[in-house]
Amino acid sequence: MHSKSLYQEVILDHNRKPRNYGTLEHSNHHAVGHNPLCGDRLEIALNLDGQNIDGIAFHGESCAICKASASMMTSVVKGKTRSDAEILIQEFRDMALGKLDPSGEHHLGRLTVFAGVRDLPTRVKCAILPWHTLHAALNSVNSISTEAADDPVHASVDSAS
């Protein structure tokens, strides 16, 4: 069911018409994420109302996979609580790194179309970057890089290759 064609269709659709692309009039958390290996750079702004993400937007220059991942991510986490978003961040990372079985129990829903990136090592960071940047924004870290020494995604990808 998570065929290559579905994956390509979703990526193309979100790349052509990215959801929540742009800036927010009111935001209280933001972060910039950078993936030097591909050249992806995106900024995520969100508005936390108490524990609730009541608005989120992204913009930047990125490849199709990164943009599609950001587009789907913003659609999914909008209206969710911060802790629900953190669960999704962890699950998405684990799935992209091949540590979560997409047919098992999780909260990812349609995001499982990205499960295939685990077989594309050069694309894993592209898919994870928006999630990693969201995590930074939620935790008031203003910029992250997939190549930073303390980057957990970087460490995992390296040890897997």
- Kindly list the residues in this chain that would bind Zn ion in the complex (CB under 5 A): 38, 40, 63, 66, 126
Q: How far is the CB of 1 from Zn ion (least distance, A)?
A: 25
Q: How far is the CB of 128 from Zn ion (least distance, A)?
A: 10
By beta-carbon proximity to Zn ion, the closer residue of 38 and 87 is 38
Q: How far is the CB of 38 from Zn ion (least distance, A)?
A: 3
Q: How far is the CB of 129 from Zn ion (least distance, A)?
A: 7
Give 141's DSSP letter.
Answer: -
By beta-carbon proximity to Zn ion, the closer residue of 48 and 129 is 129
CA dist 131 and 127 (Å) reads 8
By beta-carbon proximity to Zn ion, the closer residue of 38 and 141 is 38
Contact status, residue 108 vs residue 102, Cβ threshold 8 Å = yes
Listed in sequence order, the residues at least 6 apart from 31 whose beta carbon sits closer than 8 Å to its beta carbon are 43, 44, 133, 134, 136, 137, 141, 142, 143, 144
By beta-carbon proximity to Zn ion, the closer residue of 53 and 128 is 128
Task: Tell how strand 143-145 and strand 29-35 pair up.
Answer: parallel
